[in-house]
Amino acid sequence: MTTFPGSPRILKGALVGVDPSVPVPTVIIFQYNPDTLTRTLRPRAPGGDAARSEVQRLTGPPEETIKVDVEIDATDQLEKNDAIAGSLGIYPQLSALEMLVYPKSALMIANTALLAAGTIEIIPPDAPLTLFIWGAKRILPVRITDFSITEEAHDQALNPMRAKVGLGLRVLSTNDFSVTDPGYYVFLAHQVVKETLSVVGTVSDLTAVAGSNVRLL
């Protein structure tokens, strides 16, 4: 479908997996931007019977979770006679998403060999640093906490042709990373952007809210 030439270019949301052992990051661009995105923030504060002097303290950035549904459809690629979509449907795109929560098979094989050789302690492999990108102002390090795939159509070889993917993400903050981890600075940059935007969105004139005779302090 032809769009009006003066219409703005719409940015695409994406998930990016960054693995230090792989020179090229995994970039999974959302074919269609989800209509809704649900974010839940839970403040980090002293728990239990905290002293009165501690009741306003924050122990770190809030715990934030994100819920989003992503739709993937092979129709657009089939209209362009894409050979991959014609033979595999959207299986490659689903596989790229799923590999964000799989350990690398090479590491699993290596660990199995170490166990067979009598190694006592095997360190589980790290997942790639996963970034949730939702526009230029929201680039967040996240961990995928839950993942559901509903395959809605298949071709004659039972390759998925259309699917809806439900993603549950937990934002990883400076509380979750060491200071030497790149994720620490990705989140810190996100917080600095958010602090700047909060100043833009704050009403500085209290008289607009409470009238001219109100004193807070």
Does residue 98 lie in a domain region?
yes
Does residue 118 lie in a domain region?
no
- The mean pLDDT of 104-113, rounded to a whole number, is 80
- C-beta of residue 13 within 8 angstroms of C-beta of residue 133: yes
Q: How far apart are CA 169 and CA 176, in angstroms?
A: 14
Q: What is the pLDDT of residue 58?
A: 81
pLDDT averaged over the chain? 85
Does residue 134 lie in a domain region?
no
Give the chain's radius of gyration (CA, Å). 23
Cα–Cα nearest to 31, from 77, 64, 66, 89: 77
Question: Dihedral through CA 73, CA 74, CA 77, CA 83, nearest 10?
Answer: 160
Model confidence at 1, pLDDT cuts 50, 70, 90, reads very low
- 60-73 sheet: strands from edge to edge: 26-29, 14-18, 129-133, 139-154, 160-171, 60-73, 37-44
- C-beta of residue 94 within 8 angstroms of C-beta of residue 72: yes
Does residue 131 lie in a domain region?
no
The first and second tokens of residue 144, run together, are 């995928």
- The mean pLDDT of 70-96, rounded to a whole number, is 92
Which range marks the domain in which residue 66 is found?
32-47+59-104+142-191
Cα–Cα nearest to 172, from 160, 184, 180: 184
Residue 14 exposed, middle or buried by CB count within 10 Å (0-12, 13-18, 19+):
middle
Does residue 15 lie in a domain region?
no
Q: What is the pLDDT of residue 205?
A: 61
Q: What is the pLDDT of residue 116?
A: 83
The SS3 assignment for 15 reads: strand
Total domains in the chain come to: 1
Q: What is the pLDDT of residue 145?
A: 94
Does residue 128 lie in a domain region?
no
Does residue 211 lie in a domain region?
no
- The mean pLDDT of 115-135, rounded to a whole number, is 83
pLDDT in tens, 26-49: 899 999 999 999 999 998 877 655
Q: What is the pLDDT of residue 36?
A: 93
pLDDT in tens, 129-173: 999 999 999 999 999 999 999 999 999 999 999 999 999 999 999
Q: What is the three-state SS of 123-192?
A: CCCCCCEEEEECCCCCEEEEEEEEEEEEEEEECCCCCEEEEEEEEEEEECCCCCCCCCCHHHHHHHHHHH
Specify the DSSP element, H or E, that contains 11. none
Does residue 24 lie in a domain region?
no
Q: What is the pLDDT of residue 73?
A: 94
